[in-house]
Amino acid sequence: MIRSLFLVSFFLMSCNNDSSEIVISKNIDFNIMVNDYKLVDSDSLQVKLSYHNPDLKNIEMHWSTNDIINGKFDFGSDSLNTHVRNIPVSIYADSVLIDLKQDGLSIYSFSIKVEPRNQQKVVILNDNESSFASLLDNNRLFQYDIVKTESFKKYDFSGYDILIVEGIKDFSDNLIREIQKFMLGKNPILYFIDNVDSEYLSKTLDYPKVKALRGTSKNQFFKFEEEYPVKYLSNKSKAFQVYRFYELKDYNSDEASFNISTNDPLVIKKNILGSNVIFLATKIDEEWTNNIFNEFIYDIFIELVFNQIVENESQD
C-alpha cells in the first residue's frame, strides 16, 4: 500500500504508444518510461527512470519475469541523470513485474506484457564451432542453423532471411553461386573476413581485398578512434579492445567505417545486387578481441538486419 506522502508519476509506453500517468502525492516526483517494443534490443525490456528530488536515497527497482528470472537495479540518490536499464527477457517470458522501492518500501509496482516476436531465420556458415551463434541464443528475434561447407556440396539458402559467413576459408563455386542468389533476393549478409583468396572473391562476391594480418598479442590493443553512434545499444565502447585485425587495401573510403587507432577500418558496408552486406575485419575470438567487443558485433548486426525485422513484423 502506498503512503500519501509520496508523489509518483509514471509514463508507460508500449508499441501502440498508449500512456498513463498516476499521481499519488507531492513530495517525490518520479518518471518511468518502459519501452516494450524496442526492435533493436529484442531480448530486453528497456526502463528509463528519472527523479527530481536531490534528497532521495536508496532507490531500487526490483523486477521479475514469469520464467523465474529476477533481479534489481540500485539507483542511489543520483537525481541529475536519467537512468537507463535493460531487463533481460528470454524467449520464454511473456510478462515482467516491476516494483519500485525506496528504503525497502514499495512505492509502486506494475506488470508489462511481453509480446511474442516473429523470428528471423539465420543461416550461419561455419566449418568449426560458431562464436557468433552465442549472440543469438535464446533471442526472441532470431533462430539459427549452422551449416558446414564441403567442396562439392549443393547449398540452398532460400528458406533463410539472414546469412552469416564465419570461419569459412574455402569458397567453392557452388557456395559462391548460392551466396549470389541470396544477394539477388535482397537479403542481408554479415561476413567475418578471413584468410581467403580475397583477390578472386573480390571479383565474384565484391569481397574486400586483404593486405595483411595485423596485431600479435594482448599486450597491444587497438581502440575506436571515432565517436560511438548513440543509436547503438552498447554504452561500453571505450572498453572495446581489438588485438588482431585484417588490414584491407583498395577499398572505397565511403564504404569504410569504425577506424581504429591505426586509421584502418574494421567495417566495410556495401550494397551488392540489392543486398545490404557488412564485412568485419576481425573475429569473435579471445585472441582477436575482448569479450565486451561482442556488444559491438551485435550492434552492427542489428543495424544490418533492422529493415528486415521491420518488414517481417509489419506482415502480422
Residues 124 and 109 reside in one and the same domain: no
pLDDT beneath 70: ranges in the chain: 1-30, 35-43, 52-57, 76-81, 310, 312-316
Grid look-up 551485435 returns 298
The reported pLDDT for the residue numbered 1 is 21
Single residue among 63, 97, 113 that ends a domain in this structure:
113
CB atoms within 10 A of CB 115: 13
Integer Cα distance of 100 and 82 in angstroms: 15
Nearest to 308 by CA among 116, 160, 99, 178: 160
Q: If you write DSSP's letter for every residue of 74-134 in order, what string do you get?
A: EEET--SS-EEEEEE--TT--EEEEEEEETTEEEEEEEEE----PPEEEEEE-SS--SGGG
Phi, psi of 272 (to 5 degrees): -120, 120
The reported pLDDT for the residue numbered 23 is 39
Q: How many domains is the chain partitioned into structurally? A: 2
Residues 211 and 62 reside in one and the same domain: no
Residues 136 and 61 reside in one and the same domain: no
Integer Cα distance of 103 and 220 in angstroms: 46
The reported pLDDT for the residue numbered 286 is 93
Single residue among 82, 113, 144 that ends a domain in this structure:
113
Is residue 31 domain-resident? yes
CATH number of the domain within which 37 lies: 2.60.40.10
Maximum Cα–Cα distance for the chain, whole Å?
75
Residues 162 and 133 reside in one and the same domain: yes
Nearest to 294 by CA among 218, 213, 234: 234
89-128 pLDDT, tens per residue? 877 788 889 898 888 888 888 888 887 777 899 999 998 8
Is residue 5 domain-resident? no
Residues 35 and 134 reside in one and the same domain: no
Contact indicator for 228, 256 with CB cutoff of 8 Å: no
Is residue 4 domain-resident? no
The reported pLDDT for the residue numbered 78 is 59
Residues 54 and 202 reside in one and the same domain: no
CATH number of the domain within which 254 lies: 3.40.50.880
Is residue 1 domain-resident? no
Contact indicator for 242, 193 with CB cutoff of 8 Å: no
Residues 152 and 274 reside in one and the same domain: yes
Is residue 224 domain-resident? yes
What is the domain range of residue 234? 120-313
Is residue 3 domain-resident? no
The reported pLDDT for the residue numbered 25 is 38
Single residue among 113, 137, 152 that ends a domain in this structure:
113
The reported pLDDT for the residue numbered 116 is 73
Residues 178 and 249 reside in one and the same domain: yes
pTM of the model: 0.73
The reported pLDDT for the residue numbered 13 is 37
Grid look-up 518488414 returns 311
Residues 105 and 37 reside in one and the same domain: yes
